[in-house]
Amino acid sequence: MSDVKDENRARFGVPADSMVFARGVRKSYGPLEVLKGVDLDVPVGSVACIIGPSGSGKSTFLRCINHLEKLSAGILLVDSQFVGYDLRDNRLYEVKDDLLCQRRAETGMLFQSFNLFSHMTVMENLIEAPTQVRRIPPDQAKAEAEILLRRVGLLDKVDRYPRELSGGQQQRVAIARAMAMKPKVLLFDEPTSALDPELVGEVLQVMRDLAESGMTMVVVTHEVGFAREIGDQLVFMDGGVIIERGAPREMIANPVSPRTREFLSRVL
Amino acid sequence: MGVAHPTEIRIEPGVAEAVLRLTVVPQRRYGIWVGTALALFLAFLIIRAFASNPAFAWPTVVGYLLHPSVMRGLGNTLMLTAVIMILAIVVGTVIAIMRVSPSPVLRAFAGLYVWFFRGVPALIQLIFWFNLSLLVREVSLTIPFVGTLFSVRTNDFMTPFFSAVVALSLCEAGYMAEIIRAGIKSVPSGQAEAASALGMPYRMILKRITLPQAMRFVLPPTGNEAINLLKMTSLVTFIAVDDLFYSAQSIYARTFETIPLLIVVAFWYLAVVSIMSVGQHFLERHFGRSDTRRDPMTMRFLRNVISLRGISR
């Protein structure tokens, strides 16, 4: 396996500490081009925050990372590997479903609408993928799930159904569910946008703890304050391209591009 | 400047009593009174006609109600309904999954299936399958270099009962496929998306995430379909399957007691449909989403009776 990574590193110039590596990522739906060449480096253990107006392509880019959307052009490597392809003889072969699923399971994803399985309890949500996909024995999966639920402060809700939880609690369960697959990187798609203002804090706190524990994270968000505090890099996207990137504090204080300045003045 | 905002409201003596003395006079709805009177009058006329017309021959009706061949017919009708419904659910599920599959060929095939089997009247399908031997003399499986594995004459296995099961199952499956497809579509797409982000393959998502959640949308209309199917099985009379209607027919063909026997048949269909409706009501209450709809009074009554019994026990 590692020789594949080394090969990719040498071939595409992937930095040694790269977790997510994107070069020239394009995505079109018919005549509509949503991503027009996106480059991004997310080193291991760092947090990248992506901001931008709606329709700027930031969610689409996030979904490309775990191959929920196929790229139209460009390359995207997670941990120096393609998610949906095998590279042989200068061709990208689409991988079989089980292999794609295995690799996809290594990137956790969080959604704006939480998407907890509504017919399952909190515990069932957490052990579903580990037991079904990874074939981990239920007892072991449950023990691990309890540790994760304690981490997000919801151990007392194990037997509740999602509809019995507040939005903030649901998102914390969703984070625990993603962590149960022990992913290498977590992708957040506007994780707090559907929450009441007073519930945003508890979710951000869990994300803060994750970042401090060294989790690699790519966060599409409107919470500029969170990006400033936690983010290692801030990326501003508009119209399918990255307009500006940099250290969050400096970029928020002194944006270079007028479009970034205009956007920040509206959300701050 | 500004308006003074009182911190408390003083109520003058006498005002409180004046408020209490007011009574509400309901609006008079004369139209409803007239309608009620008309409905009662109509009901009276109908009951009188039923009671006084000797052609109804109520004693004969009662005499045939538990007649052995009527009972056998009822049993066959119930069995046909159950077998056909189970097969229709199985086939319908497969067709529904094909209709939401990523493959355009599978989608088109399933679409054609639904188009054909819902579009052709059930009676015509029934008679077609019964006469399959006119089209195919024998069914055989021959594999090159191996030879004929088996060969059966169509007439030997296409008995009336078997052709009824095949025809009505395939027909009913067309309706079930649409119901199940609607159920699958009603599960928010985020559920399948979250599952695939967790690394679950398509089949696993279908089996463990989508279909279980589709169930609660699928069950209520499936109850309706079962009731429809029960009545639809009376069509098998045309190909001489010994169902409820056929057994009644064969009696009145001899005795000419047509009306009493039709009443017997109607009675049994109504009885079974009523039992199924009660079951469906509870199913719907269990799985239904909108609890705002008003229940029919009889159902509220029945439910109260049952829940009262539960308490007293």
B249 shares contact with chain A (CB less than 8 Å)? no
- Could you tell me the two tokens for B153? 């004459």
**Residue among B198, B203, B219 with most chain A CBs within 10 A, to mutate:** B198
Strand partners, B142: B148
Q: How far apart are CA B89 and CA B103, in angstroms?
A: 22
Pairing of β A81-82 and β B138-143:
unpaired
User: How far apart, in whole angstroms, are the C-alpha atoms of residue A103 and residue A84?
Assistant: 8
How far apart (Å, rounded) are the C-alpha atoms in residues B211 and B94?
12
Q: Which amino acid is at B238?
A: F
- Judged by a CB distance cut-off of 8 A, whether residue A80 touches chain B is no
Give CA–CA dist A43/B173, Å, rounded: 54
Distance from CA of A128 to the nearest CA of B (A): 9
**Are the Cβ atoms of B200 and A129 closer than 8 angstroms?**
yes
What's A186's DSSP letter?
E
All residues of chain A having their beta carbon less than 8 Å from the beta carbon of residue B191 are 115, 117-118
Burial status of residue A95 (CB atoms within 10 A of its CB: 0-12, 13-18, 19 or more): middle
Q: Nearest Cα to A211, choosing from A228, A232, A236?
A: A232
- Distance to chain B for A71, nearest Cα, Å: 16
Does the beta carbon of A128 lie under 8 angstroms from any beta carbon of chain B?
Answer: yes
Inspect the interface and report whether the beta carbons of A132 and B208 lie closer than 8 Å. yes
Give the pLDDT of residue B279: 86
**B290 CA: distance to closest CA in chain A (Å):** 15
Axis-axis angle for helices B68-99, B160-186 (nearest 10)? 40
pLDDT tens string A18-44: 999 999 999 999 999 999 999 999 999
What does pTM read for this prediction? 0.79
Q: How far is A240 from chain B (nearest CA, A)?
A: 23
8 Å CB contact of B196 and A128: no
Q: How many angstroms away from the CA of A182 is the closest CA of chain B?
A: 10
Instruction: Output the pLDDT for position B308.
Output: 55
- Residue A238, beta-bridge partner list: A241
Contacts of A119 in chain B (CB under 8 A): 212-213
User: Do residue A115 and residue B198 have CB atoms under 8 angstroms apart?
Assistant: no
**Closest-CA residue of chain B to A180:** B198
Size of chain B, expressed as the number of residues it contains: 313
Q: Over the stretch A184-227, which tens digit does the pLDDT of each residue have?
A: 999 999 999 999 989 999 999 999 999 999 999 999 998 899 99
Q: Do the Cβ atoms of A167 and A195 come closer than 8 Å?
A: yes
Look at B190 and A101 and tell me if their CB atoms are within 8 Å.
no
Amino acid at B187: V
Question: Nearest by CB to B199, which of A117, A118, A129?
Answer: A129
Q: Does B196 touch chain A (CB under 8 A)?
A: yes
- CB contact under 8 Å between A181 and B198, yes or no, is yes
Q: Is B213 on the interface with A (CB under 8 A)?
A: yes
Compare all CA atoms of chain B with the CA of A132 and give the residue at the minimum distance.
Answer: B200
Q: Cα separations (Å) of A236 from A241, B141, B252? A: 9, 66, 84
Provide, as residue numbers in chain B, all residues whose Cβ is less than 8 Å from the Cβ of A104.
Answer: 196-199
Q: Write a three-state SS string for chain A.
A: CHHHHHHHHHHHCCCCCEEEEEEEEEEEECCEEEEEEEEEEEECCCEEEEECCCCCCHHHHHHHHCCCCCCCEEEEEECCEECCEEEECCEEEECCHHHHHHHHCCEEEECCCCCCCCCCCHHHHHHHHHHHCCCCCHHHHHHHHHHHHHHCCCHHHCCCCHHHCCHHHHHHHHHHHHHCCCCCEEEEECCCCCCCHHHHHHHHHHHHHHHHCCCEEEEECCCHHHHHHHCCEEEEEECCEEEEEECHHHHHHCCCCHHHHHHHHHHC
Determine contact, residues A258/A265, Cβ cutoff 8 Å: no
Which residues in chain A have Cβ-Cβ distances shorter than 8 Å to B183?
Answer: none
Residue-wise pLDDT tens digits, A75-97: 999 999 999 898 888 889 999 98
A97 touches chain B (CB under 8 A): yes
Q: Would the CB atoms of B197 and A116 count as touching at under 8 Å?
A: no
Q: Does B207 touch chain A (CB under 8 A)?
A: no
- State which residues of chain B have pLDDT below 70: 1-4, 6, 286-313
Q: Rounded distance, CA B203 to CA A132, Å?
A: 12
Indicate if the pLDDT at residue A101 is higher than 70: yes
What is the distance in angstroms between the Cα of A75 and the nearest Cα belonging to chain B?
A: 19
Q: For residues A40-66, give the mean pLDDT.
A: 94
Q: Is B212 on the interface with A (CB under 8 A)?
A: yes
B197 vs A contacts (CB less than 8 Å): 66, 68, 104, 107-109, 178
Asked if the Cβ–Cβ distance from A117 to B202 is below 8 Å, we say no
Closest to B209 (Cβ–Cβ): which among A105, A117, A178? A117
pLDDT for the residue numbered A212: 94
ipTM: 0.91
Give the nearest partner residue to A119 out of B195, B199, B212, using CB atoms.
Answer: B212
